[in-house]
Amino acid sequence: MSDILTIKGKDLELLVNSCFLGIKQNITTDNDYAYIDLDWVEVEAYLGYERWLSIFNFGKGINNSDWKDNWDCEDLSNSFKCYLRLIHAQANPHTFTEGFKGKVKNETDAESILVGTIFYRNSDRSAHCINLFFDKDNKPKFFEPMYGRFINLTDEQKGKVWYVNF
């Protein structure tokens, strides 16, 4: 049995609904999710993500910006989520059949990891997309993938979240 803390998809859906009362769409796609070390996300994982993006010639600065008309906040948030899911799959490579035979074990058999994307209104005319994590106490933690760090949202911004996707 794994020591990795997990949450069931149906419980995650209830948790999200309790955190964002104005939510219009809450998509939870997997049966269970493994919690992530948030310090690791901000330090090691984000550096790896930046290296991964550099394959596509994205970087910091005006001419080599990772923020473009055709690559903006939802692309950054979705790609960071995808990157973390790839790491999860790589770290837990054994199939159900292999585990059932008792020959090998994954670190966790959770279907996914606890990283989502959220959209919220940041003005009357625009919206923003960032990543959402939960800590071990089920407190929401907001990650800005453009800068690679956790940020705080105001209560007003939290009230303007309308879409969450895990």
Task: For 117-129, give the DSSP string.
Answer: EEEEESSSS-EEE
Domain membership of residue 66 (yes or no) is: no
Q: Is residue 67 part of a domain?
A: no
15: CATH:
3.30.460.70
How does pLDDT run across 111-157, given as a tens digit for each residue?
899 999 999 998 889 999 999 999 999 999 999 998 999 999 999 99
pLDDT at 60: 61
3-class DSSP state of 109: coil
* E strand or H helix that includes residue 143: strand 140-144
- Distance (Å, whole) CA 81 – CA 75: 10
Q: Give CB contacts under 8 A, 24+ apart, made by 58-64.
A: none
Looking at every residue in the chain, the average pLDDT score rounds to: 86
Does 61 reside within a domain? no
Task: Count the domains in the chain.
Answer: 1
Quote the pLDDT of residue 1: 38
Asked, for residue 62, whether it belongs to a domain, the answer is: no
Query: Does the pLDDT at position 107 exceed 80?
Result: no
126 in any annotated domain = yes
**Count of other CB atoms within 10 angstroms of residue 166:** 23
Torsion angle (degrees, nearest 10) of CA 32, 37, 38, 44: -120
Predicted confidence (pLDDT) per residue in 47-104, tens digit: 999 999 888 877 665 455 556 666 789 999 999 999 999 998 877 655 555 555 666 5
At residue 4, the pLDDT reads 73
Q: Residue 123 has what pLDDT?
A: 87
| Residues of the domain holding 29 | 6-55+72-165
Using CA atoms, how far apart are residues 96 and 118, in angstroms rounded to an integer? 31
